[in-house]
Structure 1
Amino acid sequence: MNYKYSEDFKRPVFSVIKLHFPSGKIEKLYSDTLKTIDLFKPYYIEESGNYSLSVLFANNNLKTDSLTYDFKLNGKETDVKIDISFYIDRQQTRQGGQWLEKPPIPHGIIYVTKYYKAPKSVLINLDSTKLGDEDYKGPFFKLTNNSRDTIYGEYLPGYFWGTLSIQRNDSTWSRKYTGNIDMEFVVKPPLSPDSSRIATVGSFGMFKKLAKTSYCYELLFTKDKKSRGASLYENHETFQWWAITDEFYRLKYKFKIE
């Protein structure tokens, strides 16, 4: 679980986050005023069934608010990520020919991301025939969809931008390099069955030439055509809650340059 609140809040935010399991067990994940926390618990959410997140927000100069957010697991997930954040939204309204600032409204955002192994019918290989330039660098990968499903990119439907890790020695790997992400690319359709597409590291690639070592390319894609990003979940009088549950398939490809 990742939790944070923005510098917009002049006083500490006190939050309580509890996870309700299908078995009826309730576990408190967080209860504090820390601005950020990263809680990692492998093999923690493995039970299939209906889950609920209960989130309490309290700030000295703002009204306390809370939300219960439900999501479901089928037991096939490799891992589940929960992100919760708070910030203040400042908007303006036009009255009598003038722009007036509305009272600031705190927003709470909940992301639940479920990850699955990519189906074996979706293939990826290094494409050494494609050469990069100053604007679009390598490495380039050929992504082939032999499944019966249309698949969509993590950021934009028709683009497949992944991460790259580099093997440092026999036992350690670098962090995942994402590269730059540009959401302003022109519209491109998703990848339909029995077709292929080029996949890169971020929007513009990373290296003109790969050094001699081993690499791991990781790509996320989805079968869901809905737009990415949280949507308004509950609109309270002095607080807004935004939420989304996403599902991604994780495709890993290790290769070596000799």
Structure 2
Amino acid sequence: MKLDFRIYLALITTIMSLTASAQGTFFLSYSNNCSVEKPNALITLQKPDGSISTLVDELKGVYQQDSLPCEHGKYSLLTVIRTKYCGNDSLRRSFTVNEKEFVDCRVTLEHNVKDRYASQCNDSIFECDIEITKLHEKEDGVNIRFIKYNDDRDADVPGPLFIIKNNTRDTLCGEWLPGYFWGAVARIDKGKRLFYKVGYLCSSWVDSPPLYPDSIKYSWIGSLGNILRPGRYRYRVRYYKKGNKTDENKSETKEQADFRWFARLDELYSIYCDFEVKEVK
């Protein structure tokens, strides 16, 4: 049985919790999927004032379940993997937080073959994937609207269909593939938090150009669309600006004899559209 500690629902669901205050918010999702020689992790976050918060300490049973407020400044995330027979290893990743930024951090620990492309490879290695995503509200000039709902499951795009217009000077790229603006949907229930589901994703679609200035793109749930039951919904699309990469955003890899690390930092913008699916008479 896989051990899976999640501070909040990740992968296909995300809590929409952007606040209107001057402070940002930090969420951590940690998953330990190792089934052989179970390692344990220590994850800490150093804040701009130098103070350190322990987010995960598996030896002590510590798991930070609440979001942390973030202020403007530089943060440092330290992840330490501790094992019984292979020793310890660690990676530190720094990032800067601006006002009102929502920071989504996911740390996943797995035990895989050292050379995944060699069918006869029996050597194993601990892999740790660290993904830090800074989320912003959409900028003025990027607009989305609901076009129609198709209840035919055999249609090219079943479910809701949207159109996005780029009135900015930036070239925009979809979260999953640059030329596709696949979104996630959450059912609106009064008094309840929104949980977004993105549906099926396929990265093997044919290349498509990004969203250039003064252009439009169609958008739908996941790669294939999705039929929804009647109700009110909120649709969310995330995108990034082409060429908006800095030294801080560069991916980082590190490999030792028994440990392999992947760390990356992304910045995404979110745009929303409310719509309603009505009963079919």
TM-score over 0.5 for the alignment?
A: yes
Alpha carbons of structure 1 residues 122 and 99: separation in structure 2 relative to 1, 3 Å: closer
Q: Name the % identity.
A: 27
**Structure 2 residue aligned with 1:219, among 218, 237, 259?**
237
Distance 1:107 1:7, change over 3 A: closer
2:17 — aligned with what? none
Alignment check: 8 A CA contact 1:2 1:38 kept: no
1:43-82 aligned at under 5 Å gives the runs 44-77=68-101, 79-82=102-105
1:197 maps to 2:217: yes
Residue number in structure 2 paired with 1:25: 51
> Which whole-Å CA distance do the structure 2 matches of 1:191 and 1:106 have between them?
38
For the 8 Å contact 2:40–2:58, the answer to whether it is kept is yes
Match 1:166 to one of 160, 184, 187? 187
SS at match of 2:217: strand
Q: 27, 31, 49: which is aligned to 1:4?
A: 31
Q: How many residues align?
A: 247
Counterparts in 2 of 1:1-258, with a 5 A limit?
A: 1-8=28-35, 10-32=36-58, 39-41=65-67, 44-77=68-101, 79-92=102-115, 100-101=120-121, 103-128=123-148, 134=154, 135-168=156-189, 170-172=190-192, 175-207=195-227, 211=230, 213-224=231-242, 231-257=251-277
Q: Distance in 2 between matches of 1:105 and 1:232?
A: 18
Matched residue type, 1:7: C
Alpha-carbon distance, 1:225 to partner: 5.2
- The residue type equivalent to 2:265 in the other structure is T
**Cα offsets for 1:25-60 (capped at 9, x unmatched):** 11111111599967331xx24211211111111111
Residues in 1 aligned to 2:133 and 2:69: alpha-carbon distance in whole angstroms: 12
Distance 1:83 1:131 in 2: 35
Paired residue type of 1:5: N
Q: For the Cα contact (< 8 Å) 1:165–1:173, is it kept in 2?
A: no
- Decide whether the 8 Å contact of 1:4 with 1:35 is kept in 2: no
Deviation readout 1:93-126 (Å, 9 max, x if unpaired): 99xxx97525212111111111000012100001
Q: Per the alignment, do residues 172 and 68 of structure 1 end up closer, same or farther by CA in structure 2, a change over 3 Å counting? A: closer
Which AA in structure 2 matches 1:11?
A: E
Residues in 2 aligned to 1:18 and 1:127: alpha-carbon distance in whole angstroms: 45
* Equivalent pair of 2:56/2:64 in contact (CA under 8 Å): no
The offset of 1:76, in angstroms, is: 3.9
Could you tell me the TM-score, scaled by structure 1's length? 0.84
Deviation at 1:156, TM superposition (A): 0.3
Contact 1:145 1:191 in 2 (8 A): yes
How many Å separate the matches in 2 of 1:19 and 1:176? 27
1:257 to 1:85, Cα distance in 2 relative to 1, 3 A: closer
The amino acid across from 1:161 in the alignment is: W
Maintained 8 Å contact 1:163/1:201: yes
Shift of 1:210: 6.5
2:53 & 2:134 partners in 1: Cα distance? Answer: 20
| One-letter amino acid of the counterpart of residue 52, structure 1 | S
How far apart are 1:138 and its partner, in Å? 2.3
Distance 2:236 2:62 in 1: 26
Query: Any stretches of 5+ residues in structure 1 without a counterpart?
Result: none
Q: CA RMSD in A?
A: 3.1
